[in-house]
Amino acid sequence: MLIASTLDPGGSILPLAYAIVDSENDASWTWFCERFRIAFGERENMCIVSDRHDSIWKASALVYPGLTHYACIWHLWNNLLKKCRGNKEQVRRLYFALAKAYTLQEFSELMGRLDTIDKKLGVYLFDSGYHKWSRVYATVKRTWTLTSNIAESINNSIAKAREFPVCKLMDYMRQLIETWNEKHSEEGRNTFTDLTNEYNEAYEDNKELSHRMTVRASTEFLHTVTDGMKRFSVCLRSKICSCGRFQLDEIPCGHALAAIMYRHQHGEDYCSAYYNNKNFKDTYAIPVEPLPCESTWEIPFDVLEQIVLPPDSKRPPGRPSFKRMKPFYEVKFKRAKMTCSKCGIEGHNKKTCSNLPK
């Protein structure tokens, strides 16, 4: 099953399209992307985030030649880990800080620290393309969507249902989306703030930080905000802050909110429309219609005449695996416990063992 999904204004998973194909290959992904484009078209600032599966990248480049395609930073980290020969925990912290950096200065500083550990890691990340995984180099604002975790979450939700026959699997998907639709629709109705709960919390946290800052106005829109020993420039007209968060997250950072409150304006007006609770409710305004009993269906005769054959595939030898094979970096190796030759008890040392033999 191939699935395309996104995040709704409430920060929850929103499935857009799904289809059942014979296998995950170039032809199936190309067909899926073509049907997706017919249904949704190509929109401004639209982008794709996925793992590094070759078929997905080939299909998106063919169907959406001008669209920006980003790599999931978690999958890229797994590839980077295979090349790591130094302190893996230190490299991990530096890599994810690089991916989430908001300014070029911060990115360059972190990359310099990574080069001191192993220059080959920096070369690999450069060859991968900074714009494909780093937030600060991204050409499209993708806010907090840096991974393909929503795809992994959907796969986990339907893991058992994948064993069902096709009709039952499709019905399961319909019921799942119907349940999610009503749940999020109710959440929107019970939210009374301008922003959705998910992003209103981030807004309130930034607002709390802004109380300790001082503001000096240069023009009607340009301000200098002092936060402790650091100074930041905020332009309310362009919605830009020198810290990088205002323009990349599309929600006022603490420095921007300090300037906004200095002007006695509403911070919600400077947030992206994507975070608006009204748009959240509009997302689920169209319900998933209940499916009537099969005995009441009126099926066209030409549909009844169609014969659907099973896919032409060959089952691999052996019993099918129901568990994902873990890569080497997820496997925890345990030392085998030796059995004492005197008493036969596992873990005992025969030199110091005082137990009687069995």
DSSP at 337? P
* Amino acid type, 239: K
Q: Is the pLDDT of residue 357 over 50?
A: no
- pLDDT of residue 98 exceeding 60: yes
Q: How many CA atoms lie within 13 A of 1 on its CB side?
A: 26
The amino acid occupying position 194 is D
Distance CA 243, CA 222 (A): 14
The DSSP call for residue 157 is: H
Q: What are phi and psi of 234, to 5 degrees?
A: -125, 130
Please check the confidence at residue 103 and state whether its pLDDT lies above 60: yes
Query: In this structure, how many other beta carbons lie within 10 angstroms of the beta carbon of residue 328?
Result: 8
Quote the pLDDT of residue 95: 92
Beta strand segments in 45-190, E: 47-50, 68-71
Quick one: average pLDDT of 70-90? 85
Q: Which amino acid belongs to residue 246?
A: F
Query: 214 - beta bridge partners?
Result: 226
pLDDT in tens, 283-296: 998 888 888 888 88
Residue 326 has pLDDT above 80, yes or no: no
- Do 53 and 24 form a contact (C-beta atoms < 8 A)? yes
pLDDT digits (tens, 9 = 90+) for 41-72: 888 888 888 887 889 999 999 999 888 888 88
pLDDT digits (tens, 9 = 90+) for 253-286: 999 999 999 999 999 999 999 899 999 999 998 8
The rounded distance, in Å, linking the Cα atoms of 195 and 23 is 41
User: Does pTM surpass 0.85?
Assistant: no
Q: Provide the pLDDT confidence category of residue 146 given band limits of 50, 70 and 90.
A: confident
Residue 345 three-state SS: coil
Q: Are 210 and 255 a contacting pair, CB within 8 Å?
A: yes
Strands (E), 120-261: 214-217, 222-227, 230-235, 240-241
Average pLDDT value over all residues in the chain: 85
Amino acid letter at 63?
V
Which of 27-31, 243-247, 307-311, 326-330 shows the lowest per-residue confidence on average (mean pLDDT)?
A: 326-330
- The confidence score (pLDDT) of residue 358 equals 44
